[in-house]
Amino acid sequence: MPHPPRRHVLHEANLHQLQDDRPNTPVLPWAATEGHGYHLPHGTDVIEATALGEASVRKANEQGAKCLLLPTVPFGNDNMQLDQVATITMRSSTQQAVLRDVAESLVRQGFDRMVVLNFHGGNEFKQMIRDIMLDLPIFIMQIMGYMVADWSAHVTVRDGDHASEFETSLMLHLTPQWVDMSVAADGAYAKNTYESFGTPGVWFPRDWAALTESTGTGDPRQASAANGQKIFNLLVDAVAPILRDLSRASPGEFPFIVPRAR
């Protein structure tokens, strides 16, 4: 259904709307463009990040916040997945340059806070945020959108983390027309040769071609739109109050400390 421009979505909002009710908390969804099994679109992370951002910002604003959803960055760090077809990677140095330019643009227009809403496991912004806040008077919060709520009760198969039952259920809820379950594989993937490599606190990059044939990890075949809606609602209910409270916060209310200009 067509709808009028939504003032909380920058891609749609016009200048009159933004000046009439000026936002104070920009939210930047960040995703990736990559293979997601045989059955999900390459834009899965973009769809998930955008949908979560739109719903969470809307709900936060209904509770008195002044958040604004920025356009989603569609490219993530996919350096280990370039054996696929048209997977696009963005180096961390490029991501930092993009994030800094966005932050500096906002600072020059009077913003003192922003949120990076991430929905791709290969992205990590902590170090970038620290470096940017060293130079710019802005507070930046990172939210890992898929980690903010316990959705495990709504999946049958908890093993795996990519194009799995979790993501497939979400996509069956958000864009079922782009999900082709007739070609969904079982999501089988290589396990660590040594059990010690799975110790909490241990991390290493995974060579995706050696990890999985289908690009998926975790069996998606028990996914359902009904469970996807439940998972999505859990995520929105977790993200919205974070955005609401950051929008309400005054500088000095910890942890909202705006760095001094340098």
Amino acid letter at 56?
S
Residue pointed to by tokens 């509770």: 63
Residue 169, C-beta contacts closer than 8 angstroms, at least 6 positions apart: 154, 155, 223, 224, 225, 227, 228, 231
pLDDT of residue 117: 98
In this predicted model, what pLDDT tens digit does every residue of 198-256 receive, in sequence order? 999 999 999 999 999 999 999 999 999 999 999 999 999 999 999 999 999 999 999 99
- CB 8: neighbour CB atoms within 10 A? 23
Edge-to-edge strand order for the sheet containing 67-69?
67-69, 25-30, 113-118, 139-144
Q: What is the mean pLDDT of residues 62-69?
A: 98
Residue 157 has what pLDDT?
A: 83
Q: How far apart are the first and last CA of the chain?
A: 48
Structure tokens at 189: 């993937």
- How far is residue 81's CA from residue 214's CA, in Å, rounded to a whole number? 12
How high is the pLDDT of residue 166? Answer: 96
pLDDT digits (tens, 9 = 90+) for 150-196: 999 999 988 888 999 999 999 999 999 999 999 999 999 999 999 99
Domain ranges (residues) in the chain: 15-248
Q: Calculate helix-pair angle for 165-174, 225-248, nearest 10 degrees.
A: 80
Q: Using 50, 70 and 90 to split pLDDT, how confident is the model at 1?
A: low
Residue 100 CB neighbours (<10 A)? 16
Contact 37, 221 (CB under 8 A): no
User: Per-residue pLDDT for 261 more than 80?
Assistant: no
3 band by pLDDT with thresholds 50, 70 and 90: confident
**What does the pLDDT average to over 61-67?**
98
CB 66 within 8 A of CB 24: yes
pTM more than 0.85: yes
What is the C-alpha separation between 60 and 47, in angstroms, rounded?
20
Grouping H, G, I as helix, E, B as strand and the rest as coil, residue 114 is: strand
* pLDDT at position 40 over 80: yes
201 alpha carbon, distance to own chain's centre: 22
**CA-based nearest residue to 127, from 165, 149, 100:** 100
Rounded to the nearest 10 degrees, what angle do helices 126-135 and 92-107 cross at?
Answer: 40
Question: From start to end of the chain, where are the E strands?
Answer: 25-30, 67-69, 113-118, 139-144
CATH, range 15-248? 3.40.50.10310
**DSSP characters for 86-124?**
S-BB--HHHHHHHHHHHHHHHHTTT--EEEEEE--TT--
Task: Give the residue-averaged pLDDT of 35-51.
Answer: 97
